[in-house]
Amino acid sequence: MSTANVYQQRPDSGAKAESSLHHANLGGLVGKGRKNPGVTVREKKLLGHLTLRGDAKDPAFAEGVHKALGLELPVALSLVAKGESSLQWMGPDEWLLIVPGGQEYAVEQALRAALVGLHISVVNVSGGQQLLELSGPKVREVLMKSTSYDVHPDNFPVGKAVGTVFAKSQLVIRHTGEDTWELLIRRSFSDYWWLWLQDAAAEFGLSVEA
């Protein structure tokens, strides 16, 4: 088994980091709009995103993941969370780990140490995607406008996560709370989805939260 070289990919404190929606000035929109909006959007920017691959049927793999993260491997179409970190099932041997920004390097090292000797892959994909959090009583209606996937509570309970077509493109929808959802989006499509959300949520009122 070859040795993996692990590098700190996040710029040091002297470098300026910007999210993919930096130019949209979401911070300047905080507090504007309707007083009781149906949808509130929050950009969960500059988090650490790691793709983890391994054999879910191997008890040593599951134990190692739990040892390093304090999280159990989620089953198909689901995610588990602890504090600001989450682990999402992406496929039979693939998971997405999201951690607070700046912790991805240490977490990757911890995973490799806990899983030493096993056939695994850990890849930092932080620069290619991000999360948008949607909350409020009308989020489900906006989702119904945007995707053909059934978001009814009986089919899409809290804790479920699916990759699907959304606004004629691809993303992952994550149901993280009763009226709270997350969109896992590709960085290069951020403008498109932000414009779509503004239009889709206009009738319900859309506000921005820092």
The tens digit of pLDDT for each residue in 128-168 reads: 999 999 999 999 999 999 999 999 999 999 999 999 999 99
Q: Does some domain include residue 167?
A: yes
What's residue 1's pLDDT? 43
Residues 75 and 117 in one domain: yes
**Do residue 37 and residue 133 come from a single domain?**
yes
**Burial category of 82 from C-beta neighbours within 10 Å (exposed 0-12, middle 13-18, buried 19 and up):** exposed
Domain with residue 69: its CATH number is 3.30.70.1520
- Cβ count near 193 (within 10 Å): 21
Task: Indicate whether 164 and 62 sit together in one domain.
Answer: no
The CATH number of whichever domain residue 151 belongs to comes to: 3.30.1360.120
pLDDT of residue 13: 64
Domain end point (choices 124, 144, 174): 124
In this prediction, residue 3 carries a pLDDT of: 66
Strand, helix or coil at 16? coil
Task: Check whether residue 166 and residue 111 sit in a common domain.
Answer: no
Per-residue DSSP letter, 188:
G
Last residue of a domain, one of 124, 150, 182: 124
pLDDT tens sequence across 17-30: 889 999 999 989 89
Q: In this structure, are 108 and 175 located in the same domain?
A: no
Question: What type of residue is 125?
Answer: V
pLDDT tens track of the chain, all 210 residues? 446 767 676 666 677 888 999 999 998 989 887 789 999 999 999 999 999 999 999 999 999 999 999 999 999 999 999 999 999 999 999 999 999 999 999 999 999 999 999 999 999 999 999 999 999 999 999 999 999 999 999 999 999 999 999 999 999 999 999 999 999 999 999 999 999 999 999 999 999 998
pLDDT (0 to 100) of residue 104: 96
Res 108: pLDDT: 97
**3-state DSSP call for residue 197?**
helix
* Contact present, 134 and 64 (Cβ < 8 Å): no
**What pLDDT was estimated at residue 17?**
82
Shared-domain flag, residues 188 and 91: no
- Domain end, chosen from 90, 124, 158, is at 124
- Residue 18: inside a domain: no
- Please tell me whether residues 112 and 139 are part of one structural domain: no
Number of domains composing the chain? 2
Same domain, 56 and 156: no
Burial class (CB in 10 A: 0-12, 13-18, 19+), 64: buried
For residues 71 and 55, membership in a common domain is answered with: yes
Whether residue 58 is found in the same domain as residue 154 = no
Domain that holds residue 177: 29-46+128-208
37 located within any domain: yes
